[in-house]
Every structure is written in structure tokens, then in C-alpha cells.
Structure 1
């Protein structure tokens, strides 16, 4: 899971320029905060492990400080880890029964593995008893927190959808409007190619960038249940007729030269795919909301002069999917260890209900350039003074809040083994070296693994 590339938006200090966050920082090992512990064994008091990296780290530290200041008799102890160190340590610690009381994570496949091993608490009834808290959170954020119809984690922090970006100047050059349907996208391809403009930029060497296209096509053609069946382990789900149709449409766009020439050699980490959009060499790009920051800071006047356009991915003609659906990172997640003492579980639940999505936290996330996973974030957007940034954040808010279903990125939703097989087969699909049926047959073989 390449979480550092796509978890947060950040306003750079002293300006309103956005930048990608969740970058790993500090030492590779754990960092204990004042009054914290480097251990996580049960029976030593409630503990909480989370990631370093600003501005997220400071916001999390402030949450714990507010909680501890208000609850002198039940202190929450914290340990901070760099991204990769956290992933290694948390898995080992939980497996050995030495994990923290509060488990920070990304939901989806990782959470499901904890649920299958009976390592995390079922929070369904707790949320029923705390309906006001539950109703304050974007409903779509609960998808990655739910396993088998039960809620095992609380959505927290921020939301980051995938977006269809476009260059307004490129559209002016061909005298066309942005696409309102998949059919429009296919119709635009030859028009842009005739003008020497690539219809779409794509950093295809990174593989997960290709995946975002399939995430939308599966949803728009067959609805959210198509991937849900895959996530639930239903046999042969990858060969659902809607899935095969999505794979066929994907290759139709590729064969029509819908992407920049040589896309399979372009990396997303270099931001070369973004540069193709803001320099006008490509007309459109499907990418994460986290790219807005780099396009603003690196794209000259592309953003500041209003040349950047954006929208949710359009519907597919005759498709079953809800056009309000989106994909990406619906949030981050906190679970409670089922192995913790009842007293520690109670402390963790109090922290969840009072200190993770409180007004101070919402303020801090918005000021850092993020959209937190709560409906009240909308009231905070008036504090953003830059017009372009304010419009952008409103769009991210509306997309996240209005999504009937916010699907988690597939490579985070699936197990690591299944995710790697997925990315490998997607690369082959985009290179036209396998057919849609071969893709489905290969992926059906790793369902449930």
C-alpha cells in the first residue's frame, strides 16, 4: 500500500498552496511522546500508536493532549512511528498480543485481517448508542470500516477522492465541453489527437494509477456491489458481466490512443503525469485529490489563473452505478483491540467520542488544507481566503459528503497478496498483453487470499 502518495492534502506554511502529506519523517523507529510508552501490552493502561509526519502528527498529538488534560485519572499513552516501521511493528505486535489499545489504520483489507483473527472490537452497538457521533461522519466513510455488515473501526481524519482533472485551455483549442458521459470521453479522443494533444495523461509505470480507471468503470457500469462481491470473497466475482464490460471498455480507450504515447514508461512519483496536464500536452487526467497541491506549486499560473478544471468521473451510458459514487481514500480508521482490558477499552471509546472529531480537530484539519470526514467541515471552509483553494476544498467536500458509496482504493481494500496480483494484471491489461477474460480468470484465482 503506497499510502504516502495519497492520504492527505496540506497547505504549505505561510501560503494556501496544497501539497501531498503523510510523508514519512523522523527516525525509522518509534518515537515516544512525553508521558508515553514504547510498549503496547494489555494491562499497562490505554495505549495509542500512530504515524509521524506533519501536519498530521501535530494534530494527533494535540488530540491526545486535550484528552489527557481533561481526564487526569485515565491517561492515554502514545507511541509514534514512521510509516513503514508502523506497518511492520503493528502486524507483529497484534499477532503477539502486544498491540496498542487503539489501532490506527486504513481500513479495508488490513482491518478485515484483524477481524478474521478476532483482534478488534465490534463497534456496531457502540455506534448505535452514539448515534449523534455516527451521524456527524460522512456515511460513505463507513464502507472501509465495515466487515460482514458490522462496524469495526471509527472513520477519522481526512477524505481524499479520485478526480477527473482537465485543462480548460485544451478544451478551448478543440471547441469542446468537458465530458458528461463515457461516450463523450470516447468521442473526445480523436478530436484531441487530431490537434496533437493527448486526451489523457497517465503515469502507467506506477500501476496503481491505471487501477483508478478500473475502479470508476466497475462502479459506473455495474454499481458498487461488483467490487463488494470481490471484497467479500464471492467466487468468480471478477468475471461478473459488468466487470468484463468495464475491462473491455478500458481496452477500447487504450486502443483508441486515449492516453499519452509511452504512458507505461511514465511514473507518478516523478509528477511527470501532472506536468503533461498543466503544460497542455494532455487534456485530462484521472488522479487523486492530493495532486492539486503540486499542480498549484509547480504548474506556474495553471491553477492561479483558473485553467484547471475538475469533476467527478462521469457516468457510463446505460450503467447501473450511481454517478455520485467516488473512489479513493474515504478516511483513516481507529479500531479498539479486543485483547485490551475493559477499563482500557472504555478509555479508548471515550477518546474516540470526545477527541478525534471534536471542533478543535476539525478546525486543525481544515487549516492544514484537508477535508475532515465530518459534515461540519463545510462550516469551516469560509476561513480559506484563497478563491481557488476555497472552490477546490468545497468540491472535495461535496464529492465526499454526497457520495452514496465511497469505495476504498482496491490495493488497500484487498489483502497484500491479492493487491500485488491485481496491480500486475492491471499492468498487463493496459499493455494489451492479456484480454479482459484472461484478466478475470487470473484474478478469480486469488479471491479470498
Structure 2
């Protein structure tokens, strides 16, 4: 396990230096540099039940002092401070580093951390790694200009919160690859996600490597690794539809996960009264639509298919909203006509049922935000209008199984690209609308 708690690593590696060096100020200075040196510091956390050996990626302050002896800001930070002695070069990991910036990403050149990385290591600075801060929703993006022998790696912060800015970045900066939380983070967590994501140059070229770590809600030092994944970085344009589809797939997967929790915790408690049955029906329509959204985006096969899928999702949501509105109107009417029974027999129950329905209605309102559909439609149609991509290579390198393996993995196997079946999908409101019309005409 490799964690990115760099300040903790500095304190653990050199307690004397940590007391004298302002590590927060040093890390801010480090963000501005184009060459970096790290060590892996063994981690010992009281109360941790971590099962595997854990290390913390730690800036080697003494190497920065050696490499930038005349930097005035660094000289001020380290003047008179006690530093570890400089060790042999093999004791350090040379790397590039992407700063993590918080807040709005509206102006990416200023507000999104990024760094330029050579495709092939320079003779005077051989670096096969690009590190950045831990992630729990951010994305690694890669942009590359034609004819250049380098690329730019970005740590794009909170693309779900910065939705409009992230869409604009993908449209204008045209990243050739995007490694978002849909690829490195599980859903439905009962822990604090703290994924270690990096780029590594192996024998077959650059790839993303991700280690999904979870910290305990009650004990932050209790960290477990759930999985490690990797895949090659795409540097050629033409397959942007893959990451766009995956980005929006994570949006709808997250929405479906939340709806399932509401169903489990609230909808399952509704009674068989007519208002409750109507509320259940309305909620079921929303959940069925969410399930269809997931299946639709899972089946995308190319840019044109993505555009068709976006149009179908938009059309299906319009129909689902109409049917839900009809159920909601019937529920309001049913609430105005309570059962013919003495008020003291049903008043308390009716009030509790109404309160529960109101809670569910609030959740439905929050989870009915369809603004993402407009973004999907714009991005899909932009990609569909671009020229067709060249034929992909016949084989791709296999994934590294761990971050540690990346340092020693020199040969890769190949694996065929899996094909995804195209299921026949039907909007949830189609059958429901027909059933509603039938019930209206059949009579009591």
C-alpha cells in the first residue's frame, strides 16, 4: 500500500527536520517545481489494523536543497534547518508531480494543477512516474498537441461539482484521455476514499495505475486497499467517446445507488394505502429510468452510438417525467379524499404516512436533476461530428497488478478488447403509460 499523506511522511522520515521545516510551506513551494524526488517511508500508525505493508510517498527535502541551491524561497525555508544527508541516487524516486488545487476550475490554466511530461525521459532527468495528491472524485486528464514529444497531465478537481467547467475543458482543451472516479472508485462506500492514482512509464509506454484505498470513518489511520487497477494511457485522438461515456455512466450509477438506498430505507416502509401506492409507483418510475440510463451508457460502442444514446435518454426522461407527474397528481387527489372512517382511527397513521411520503418526495426532487443530460448531449454530438478515428492497434499491454510491480514490470502480455453486447432497451414509461391508460378505460 502506498499513501500520499506527504506531510505525515516528512514527519515520520525525519522528525528533527519536521520540527524545524515548515512542511506546509515546503509543499506549496514544491508545487511550482518541474523536477521532483521522493522516498517511500514505512508507515506506522497507532491503532491501525492495516493488513499489508504500508508506505507514504515522501518528498526528499535534501535532494531539493541539492538541486535548487540558489532558489531564494527554498533557501529561506531551509536556512539553518537540519536535513537528512543526501543518499545515493538509487535511494530516490525521480518523478514529475501534478499540484492539487481546490475550488473553481473555470480557468484551468490558473486553477487546475498540471505539469508537462516528456514522452521519453530526458538524459539529465530520468523519470518514469507522475505523482499527484490522493483522489476521491477528481480526475487525471491528459492533453497532447500534435507534433510535440511531450504531454500535459492534469489533476482536475471535483469534475462533478465543477460540472459546467469540466464539460468546457473537455470540449476546448480536448484531452485525449480522462481517468475519472468511474474507473478507480467503488460506489456505496462506508469509508473515506483515498485513492493513490499515478502515471507510470513501463516497457510498453505510459499507463494509469490506481490503488483504491479506504480510510475508516472512526479511525482515519485504519486504511485498507480494496483493489489495484491499471490501463494504458491513450495519446491519439479519436476515442474520447470512451471517457465521456464512462464519465456520465458514473453520474447515473451514483444516482441509481442513491435511489436504491432511498428505496431500502424509506420506500419500503410505505403502506398499501392509495396515496402510498401512488408514491411508490412514481418512485419506481424514476428508479426504472435510472436503471435504463445505466444499461444504455454501458452499451455505447462508438461516438455515433453515444450521440444516439444521448438522444434516446433525453426522450425517455421526458416521457418518464410525464408519467411521474400523473402519479403525483393522483396522489394529491387521493390525499384530499381520506377514507370514510372515524378520524381518531386513521388520523395518526395518515399523518405518519404523509410525513414519510413528503421525505421521499424530497429525495425524488434531489435525484431528478436532469442537467447532466444536456451536457451529455452536447459532448456526444460534438464528438460524433469529428472525423472517424484511425484503426486501433491490435494489442494493448496488460495491466500492472500493484504499484510496487510497476517498478519491476518490464514485459507485458496482451489481451483482446472485450465486446459488449447491445441489449434491447425499452423506456420504463412505455409499458407503464400503456397500463395507466388501460386502467383508466377498464373502469372499477
Tell whether the structures are fold-level matches, with TM greater than 0.5.
no
Higher relative contact order (CA 8 A, sep 6+): 1
Scaled by the length of structure 2, the TM-score of the pair is 0.29
Scaled by the length of structure 1, the TM-score of the pair is 0.28
Max radius of gyration: which structure? 2
